[in-house]
Chains A and B, each alone.
Chain A
Amino acid sequence: MEKKILVILEQRNGKIKKSSFEALTVAQNLASSLGFSVDAALIGNEVENLSEVFSYCSCKLVHFTHADLQLYSSSAYKKIAVEYASQQGCEIILLSNTSLGKDLAPRVAIGLKAGLVSDCISLEQKENQLFAVRPIYAGKALQEVKLNSEVKVFSLRPNVFKAVQLETKANEKISTVVEENPDLSNRVKQIIRSEGKLDVAEADIIVSGGRGVKGPEHFNLIEGLAEQLGAAVGASRAVVDAGWRPHEDQVGQTGKTVSPSLYVACGISGAIQHLAGMSSSKYIVAINKDKDAPIFTVADYGIAGDLFEILPILTEEIKKLKS
């Protein structure tokens, strides 16, 4: 039997997530170097544009449907993934390290008696062995690991692996499995969306504010710049602990570790636990009064000045550029 990689795709609101396309690209590359074939499993009910999968990976797509599977259920999703992977003898399982993937991957691993490496930022094969690299201590160090189990599960950090479209779209092979009586003993009843809010973990650009913003009432400066850039608003631990911003905005070791293309740090001095969470951003801009602040040691471009003077002008300049 041909050896297989299984990619567990993720949909939210019926749309396949970008990080799933990243995982498909990783699968495509591994499959061609190892001589494996790829299956992709998508659990949900109504999902748009299934055929987009074949732009990234030559694979067989299995769509598991049931009205109650549109929202995540750890018990049902696990059962479906484990049963499918064992029937098909899949040896490598890939997921994205999103909030759903983080929850699901360990369950799938136990179900398959497999090892799991979470939050991989690199996954490569050398002499038919897979080597993964993952950040530890929120990115203060990196760990290289391999799995000693027959079946191997890897969850991939979003925004790190690039989703690359195939030169020619692969043949569409889709099969639909209608689930009967999914196990809903552990299930999401409802999703509460933060209204129109872009999450720092998923944003391509982040504008963050720290203690230098001087109070929650001045975060409109940060929000204004973020709006012009189509960015998410982030925050340092100090301002979250002071209650100026909600915890989900926190970037750093006890918040979120992020790698956007652009990170704009405003009034953030750059405590080590903050730097750990954002220094893998592709470009970093720092605006801070103190020219000796540690944030400037990781910034590509900096202005050592008063953010209250600089931000309104920066926002205006970006507005001009965009129009």
Chain B
Amino acid sequence: MKIAVCVSHVPDTATRIKIAADQKSIDPAGVSFVLNPYDEYAVEEALKTKEKFGGEVVVLSVGGDRVKETIRKSLAMGVDEGVHLKTDEALDSFAIAQALADEIKSLGSELVFMGKQSVDYDSGMVGQLTAELLSFNSISVCVTFNLDGNTITAEREIEGGKEIVETSLPCIITAQKGLNEPRYASLKGIMAAKKKVIQEKPVASTPALVENLQLKMPTAKNPGRILGTDSSAVPELVKLLHEEAKVI
């Protein structure tokens, strides 16, 4: 079984965002990029599935040269091969899904993992788009995953609970925090990753379906009032919430 895992390379969540001069992207200066946190769960689940059923794991990532770093990190965690779907354009989710779908098809993979969303553009749709382009089943926002023969059962997080979803291969699973505990790359893994091959394939340019017009910063909130330093401030707080904010 060939298992594919799709990852993205995103600014660390502790990063402060500045908008670049073009008003359409963020200024990458001083930003540290990491493997998208939700994709770490996807990599871990792909590796666990391989350990259970055999096969190999291939990591795919779409983007400019810097995504190689994230592919390398996945290889260090234990992924067998990497494919860099190279483009220097800022693609929309539809174009990313198309590039992933084309590559998954040519790999002949029937089980694909990816994070439920990347923490940069937060679209949360690439998994389902890719699945629909391939006519695969898919379950999003999974906190458990179980494969039994051809049947997949997974729990997905919903408001105030979980849904138990059943479907079958071929399938794309998108990972939510809680699915597993991602392993750390061992020193041996890091060394081995340096020798693993990353194939580079160009992504064909397509007109954007979703046109990015501009990025803006949200209106900054004015700092409010510190009412006191102990419980003597409580009556005033309750009064303000009741009479001024009218929220209680």
Binding site for B on A (CB under 8 A): 12, 71-72, 74-75, 78, 98-100, 102-103, 105-107, 109-111, 115-119, 131, 134-149, 185-194, 197-199, 201-202, 205, 229, 246-248, 250, 252-255, 261-262, 271-273, 276, 279-280, 282-285, 291, 296-306, 309-310, 313-314, 317-318, 321
Contact = CB atoms under 8 A, between A and B. Distances in A.
Contact of A135 (B93, B122, B155, B224): B122
Nearest to B141: A99
Interface of B: 11, 13-17, 19, 26, 37-38, 92-94, 119-125, 128-129, 131-133, 137-141, 143, 153, 155-168, 176-178, 207-218, 221, 223-231, 233-235, 237-238, 240-242, 245, 247-248
B228 A305 contact: yes
Contacts of A111: 132
A305 B233 CA distance: 10
A192 B159 CA distance: 11
A253 B215 contact: no
B226 A318 contact: no
A303 B213 CA distance: 41
A239 to B, nearest CB: 14
B241 A141 contact: no
Contacts of A246: 178
Given A106-B128, A110-B129, A145-B210, A303 B237 contact: yes
A139 B137 CA distance: 31
Contact of B160 (A115, A194, A271): A194
Nearest to B167: A186
Contact of A141 (B17, B125, B141, B242): B17
Main secondary structure, interface of B, reads: mixed
B231 A300 contact: no
A102 B124 contact: yes
Nearest to A78: B132
Contact of A147 (B125, B211, B238, B245): B211
B230 A306 contact: yes
B231 A313 contact: yes
A254 B137 contact: no
Nearest to A271: B14
A313 B123 CA distance: 42
A71 B122 CA distance: 26
B221 A148 contact: no
Contacts of B213: 131, 144-146
A183 B234 CA distance: 56
B142 to A, nearest CB: 11
Contact of A186 (B121, B138, B160): B138
Given A118-B124, A119-B122, A72 B163 contact: yes
A248 B176 CA distance: 10
Contacts of A144: 212-216
A148 B163 contact: no
Closest 9 CB pairs of A and B: A110-B132, A115-B209, A106-B128, A300-B224, A106-B125, A199-B160, A273-B13, A99-B158, A262-B247
A103 B167 contact: no
A115 B97 CA distance: 12
B115 to A, nearest CB: 10
Given A185-B168, A192-B161, A261-B247, A253 B13 contact: yes
Given A201-B159, A305-B231, A254 B140 contact: no
A137 B159 contact: no
Contact of A118 (B125, B211, B221, B225): B125
A205 B247 contact: yes
Contacts of B242: 321
A271 B240 CA distance: 26
A145 B211 contact: yes
B56 to A, nearest CB: 26
B167 A185 contact: yes
B245 A300 contact: yes
15 contacts: A74-B139, A136-B122, A144-B213, A144-B214, A148-B209, A185-B167, A197-B161, A262-B241, A272-B15, A273-B13, A276-B13, A301-B224, A302-B227, A303-B228, A305-B233
A283 to B, nearest CB: 5
Given A111-B132, A136-B121, A285-B237, A310 B230 contact: yes
B231 A141 contact: no
A306 B233 CA distance: 12
A145 B212 contact: yes
A301 B240 contact: yes
A141 B155 CA distance: 31
